[in-house]
């Protein structure tokens, strides 16, 4: 009978022992998460004050980031979005650090992977932001140049350039984040290559007459030279 009771009690005792060992880790995790969230809130408040002081919202309005947000049906101040992103980034980092305090092998490896992935997220964000500004700048430059040159389709050309550049930037972002890299690369190559080939064919076929006229004019201009004598003014 005692053996039977021992059979029941032993696992329970062992579990209790393990829980006793685990309890400080759990408490450490809760404390880390609690303090981390408080710090994240504090940092968000400081960040919002700082962004307001440097006129970040106004800068975003002029650079087109606000419009980018509106396109995503996000109708709050840009600084609020930056604050929220910073808060949640810190919250996730806190969670990861907290989880690592549990000292569970599987979680430790996941936390390690997360931190090694962070630089990629950062560089992808930078590519997206800088790319968006550059695409806007190039698109406006093309629009102005085309409009000044008298092209009727200047606006369309500007939009197409912007769309192609954004396509390229999104492909770079996806590649950086290592999300379906091969599919993204293939899709980008097919789309971008397709557009270039289509333009080449369109210009090639549509410009046959113009090219012919240019070549004929060149030949016509060259011909009189053959009949010129060698007398020079000296």
Q: Can you give the binding site for other proteins, defined by CB under 8 A?
A: 57-58, 61-62, 64, 66-67, 70-71, 73, 75-77
Closer to other proteins by CB, 51 or 184: give it. 51
Radius of gyration of the chain (CA): 32
Closer to other proteins by CB, 50 or 203: give it. 50
Question: Closest distance between other proteins and the C-beta of residue 217, in Å?
Answer: 39
Output the 3-class SS for the chain: CHHHHHHHHHHHHHHHHHHHHHHHHHHHHHHHHHHHHHHHHHHHHHHHHHHHHCCHHHHHHHHCHHHHHHHCCCCCCHHHHHHHHHHHHHHHHHHHHHHHCCCCHHHHHHHHHHHHHHHHHHHHHHHHHHHHHHHHHHHHHHHHHHHHCCCCCHHHHHHHHHHHHHHHHHHHHHHHHCCCHHHHHHHHHHHHHHHHHHHHHHHHHHCHHHHHHHHHHHHHHHHHHHHCCCCCCC
Question: Closest distance between other proteins and the C-beta of residue 60, in Å?
Answer: 10
Closer to other proteins by CB, 91 or 157: give it. 157
Question: Closest distance between other proteins and the C-beta of residue 32, in Å?
Answer: 37
Question: Closest distance between other proteins and the C-beta of residue 67, in Å?
Answer: 4
Closer to other proteins by CB, 64 or 131: give it. 64
Residue in the block written with tokens 């685990």? 22
Closer to other proteins by CB, 22 or 57: give it. 57
Closer to other proteins by CB, 76 or 198: give it. 76
CA 38, 119, 179: angle at the middle one, nearest 5? 110
The whole-angstrom separation of Cα 44 and Cα 84 is 7
Question: Closest distance between other proteins and the C-beta of residue 62, in Å?
Answer: 6
Question: Closest distance between other proteins and the C-beta of residue 30, in Å?
Answer: 37
């Amino acid at each position: 009978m005692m053996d039977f009771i021992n059979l029941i009690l032993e696992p329970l005792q062992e579990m209790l022992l393990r829980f006793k060992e685990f309890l400080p880790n759990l408490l450490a995790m809760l404390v880390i998460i609690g303090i981390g969230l408080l710090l994240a809130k504090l940092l968000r408040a400081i960040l919002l004050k700082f962004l307001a002081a440097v006129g970040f919202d106004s800068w975003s309005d002029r650079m087109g980031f606000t419009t980018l947000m509106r396109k995503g049906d996000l109708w709050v101040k840009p600084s609020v979005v930056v604050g929220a992103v910073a808060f949640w980034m810190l919250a996730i980092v806190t969670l990861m650090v907290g989880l690592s305090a549990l000292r569970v092998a599987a979680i430790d490896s996941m936390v390690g992977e997360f931190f090694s992935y962070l630089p990629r997220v950062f560089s992808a964000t930078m590519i997206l932001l800088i790319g968006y500004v550059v695409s806007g700048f190039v698109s406006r430059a093309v629009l102005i140049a085309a409009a000044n040159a008298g092209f009727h389709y200047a606006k369309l050309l500007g939009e197409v350039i912007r769309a192609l550049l954004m396509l390229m930037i999104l492909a770079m972002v996806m590649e950086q984040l290592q999300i379906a890299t091969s599919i993204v690369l293939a899709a980008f190559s097919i789309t971008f290559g397709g557009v270039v080939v289509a333009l080449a064919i369109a210009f090639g076929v549509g410009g046959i007459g113009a090219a012919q006229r240019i070549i004929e004019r060149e030949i016509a201009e060259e011909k009189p030279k053959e009949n010129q004598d060698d007398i020079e003014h000296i």
